[in-house]
Amino acid sequence: MTNIPTSNAPTSFPGEVLCESGSLQLNAGRETKTLTVANLGDRPIQVGSHYHFLEVNRALQFDRSQAYGFRLDIPAGTAIRFEPGDTKTVSLVAIGGTRHIQGLNGLVNQALDAPNAKEMAMERVQRLGYSTIVEESHGN
Protein backbone atom coordinates (compact mmCIF):
# COMPACT_ATOMS: atom_id res chain seq x y z
CA MET A 1 0.00 0.00 0.00
CA THR A 2 1.39 3.34 -1.04
CA ASN A 3 0.76 6.40 1.04
CA ILE A 4 0.26 9.61 -0.90
CA PRO A 5 1.49 12.67 0.95
CA THR A 6 -1.42 14.98 1.76
CA SER A 7 0.60 17.97 0.56
CA ASN A 8 0.31 16.62 -3.02
CA ALA A 9 -3.45 15.92 -2.78
CA PRO A 10 -5.53 18.06 -5.13
CA THR A 11 -7.42 20.97 -3.57
CA SER A 12 -10.24 20.66 -6.09
CA PHE A 13 -11.55 18.05 -8.49
CA PRO A 14 -12.81 18.31 -12.08
CA GLY A 15 -16.46 19.35 -12.08
CA GLU A 16 -16.42 20.27 -8.42
CA VAL A 17 -18.60 23.21 -7.45
CA LEU A 18 -17.51 25.27 -4.48
CA CYS A 19 -20.23 27.42 -2.94
CA GLU A 20 -19.83 30.43 -0.74
CA SER A 21 -21.05 30.08 2.79
CA GLY A 22 -24.39 31.67 3.61
CA SER A 23 -27.90 31.15 2.37
CA LEU A 24 -29.79 31.80 -0.84
CA GLN A 25 -33.24 33.29 -1.13
CA LEU A 26 -35.15 31.29 -3.71
CA ASN A 27 -37.27 33.19 -6.25
CA ALA A 28 -36.29 36.60 -4.85
CA GLY A 29 -38.35 39.43 -6.31
CA ARG A 30 -40.96 37.23 -7.98
CA GLU A 31 -44.68 37.60 -7.35
CA THR A 32 -46.05 35.00 -4.92
CA LYS A 33 -49.49 34.00 -3.70
CA THR A 34 -51.10 31.34 -1.53
CA LEU A 35 -54.05 29.15 -2.45
CA THR A 36 -56.04 26.50 -0.63
CA VAL A 37 -56.05 23.18 -2.51
CA ALA A 38 -58.27 20.14 -1.84
CA ASN A 39 -57.85 16.65 -3.31
CA LEU A 40 -61.39 15.54 -4.23
CA GLY A 41 -60.10 12.34 -5.83
CA ASP A 42 -59.68 8.84 -4.46
CA ARG A 43 -55.93 8.60 -5.15
CA PRO A 44 -52.85 10.50 -3.94
CA ILE A 45 -51.70 13.28 -6.26
CA GLN A 46 -48.13 14.58 -6.33
CA VAL A 47 -47.22 17.89 -7.97
CA GLY A 48 -43.63 18.75 -8.90
CA SER A 49 -41.86 22.03 -8.32
CA HIS A 50 -41.95 23.39 -11.86
CA TYR A 51 -45.37 22.24 -13.08
CA HIS A 52 -47.71 25.03 -14.22
CA PHE A 53 -50.14 24.84 -11.31
CA LEU A 54 -53.23 25.68 -13.39
CA GLU A 55 -52.72 22.38 -15.25
CA VAL A 56 -52.35 19.98 -12.32
CA ASN A 57 -54.67 16.97 -11.91
CA ARG A 58 -58.32 17.88 -12.43
CA ALA A 59 -59.27 16.27 -9.07
CA LEU A 60 -57.41 19.03 -7.21
CA GLN A 61 -59.88 21.81 -6.42
CA PHE A 62 -58.66 25.40 -6.09
CA ASP A 63 -59.00 28.75 -7.85
CA ARG A 64 -57.35 27.84 -11.15
CA SER A 65 -57.68 31.38 -12.47
CA GLN A 66 -55.40 32.56 -9.63
CA ALA A 67 -52.89 29.79 -10.47
CA TYR A 68 -52.47 30.88 -14.10
CA GLY A 69 -48.77 31.59 -14.70
CA PHE A 70 -47.65 30.21 -11.33
CA ARG A 71 -45.88 27.12 -10.02
CA LEU A 72 -45.20 25.78 -6.53
CA ASP A 73 -42.78 27.93 -4.52
CA ILE A 74 -40.61 24.99 -3.43
CA PRO A 75 -37.02 23.99 -4.28
CA ALA A 76 -36.35 22.49 -7.72
CA GLY A 77 -36.76 18.73 -7.87
CA THR A 78 -39.16 18.54 -4.92
CA ALA A 79 -42.91 17.95 -4.85
CA ILE A 80 -46.01 18.25 -2.69
CA ARG A 81 -48.28 15.24 -2.19
CA PHE A 82 -52.02 15.53 -1.68
CA GLU A 83 -53.66 12.47 -0.14
CA PRO A 84 -57.36 11.81 -0.93
CA GLY A 85 -59.47 14.23 1.11
CA ASP A 86 -56.47 16.44 2.02
CA THR A 87 -56.79 20.21 2.02
CA LYS A 88 -53.55 22.20 2.07
CA THR A 89 -52.50 25.80 1.68
CA VAL A 90 -49.72 26.10 -0.89
CA SER A 91 -47.40 28.94 -1.82
CA LEU A 92 -47.04 29.69 -5.53
CA VAL A 93 -44.48 31.78 -7.39
CA ALA A 94 -44.71 33.38 -10.84
CA ILE A 95 -43.16 31.33 -13.63
CA GLY A 96 -40.03 33.01 -15.01
CA GLY A 97 -37.99 32.70 -18.18
CA THR A 98 -39.78 32.96 -21.53
CA ARG A 99 -43.08 32.04 -19.83
CA HIS A 100 -43.99 29.72 -22.70
CA ILE A 101 -45.98 26.68 -21.53
CA GLN A 102 -46.13 23.70 -23.89
CA GLY A 103 -47.53 20.24 -23.25
CA LEU A 104 -48.47 19.31 -19.68
CA ASN A 105 -52.28 18.93 -19.92
CA GLY A 106 -52.56 21.14 -23.01
CA LEU A 107 -54.51 23.96 -21.36
CA VAL A 108 -52.15 26.74 -22.51
CA ASN A 109 -49.68 25.60 -25.24
CA GLN A 110 -48.39 29.12 -25.88
CA ALA A 111 -46.79 32.09 -24.16
CA LEU A 112 -48.58 32.84 -20.89
CA ASP A 113 -48.68 36.53 -21.77
CA ALA A 114 -50.07 36.08 -25.31
CA PRO A 115 -53.32 37.95 -26.04
CA ASN A 116 -56.35 36.00 -24.73
CA ALA A 117 -54.15 33.09 -23.54
CA LYS A 118 -55.59 33.10 -20.02
CA GLU A 119 -59.18 33.32 -21.25
CA MET A 120 -58.64 30.40 -23.66
CA ALA A 121 -57.00 28.32 -20.92
CA MET A 122 -59.85 28.98 -18.49
CA GLU A 123 -62.39 28.00 -21.15
CA ARG A 124 -60.54 24.67 -21.53
CA VAL A 125 -60.54 24.23 -17.72
CA GLN A 126 -64.35 24.48 -17.74
CA ARG A 127 -64.89 22.40 -20.88
CA LEU A 128 -62.61 19.56 -19.71
CA GLY A 129 -64.09 19.37 -16.21
CA TYR A 130 -61.19 20.55 -14.03
CA SER A 131 -62.24 21.24 -10.42
CA THR A 132 -62.10 24.95 -9.73
CA ILE A 133 -63.49 27.45 -7.25
CA VAL A 134 -63.18 31.21 -6.88
CA GLU A 135 -61.03 32.21 -3.92
CA GLU A 136 -59.58 35.49 -2.74
CA SER A 137 -55.85 35.48 -3.52
CA HIS A 138 -53.29 36.21 -0.84
CA GLY A 139 -50.14 37.43 -2.56
CA ASN A 140 -47.63 40.18 -2.88
Which whole number is the average pLDDT over 104-109? 96
pLDDT of the residue at 13: 86
All structural domains of the chain with their residue ranges: 32-128
Give domain 32-128's CATH number out of 2.70.50.30, 2.10.150.10, 3.90.1170.50, 3.30.420.40.
Answer: 2.10.150.10
Q: Is 135 left (phi over 0), alpha (psi -120 to 50) or beta?
A: beta
- Residues 2-57: tens digit of each pLDDT: 665 555 666 778 899 888 899 888 889 999 999 999 999 999 999 999 999 999 99
- Residues 47-100: tens digit of each pLDDT: 999 999 999 999 999 999 999 999 999 999 999 999 999 999 999 999 999 999
The whole-angstrom separation of Cα 32 and Cα 94 is: 6
- Confirm if 104 and 52 have CB atoms less than 8 A apart: yes
> Which amino acid does the sequence have at 132?
T
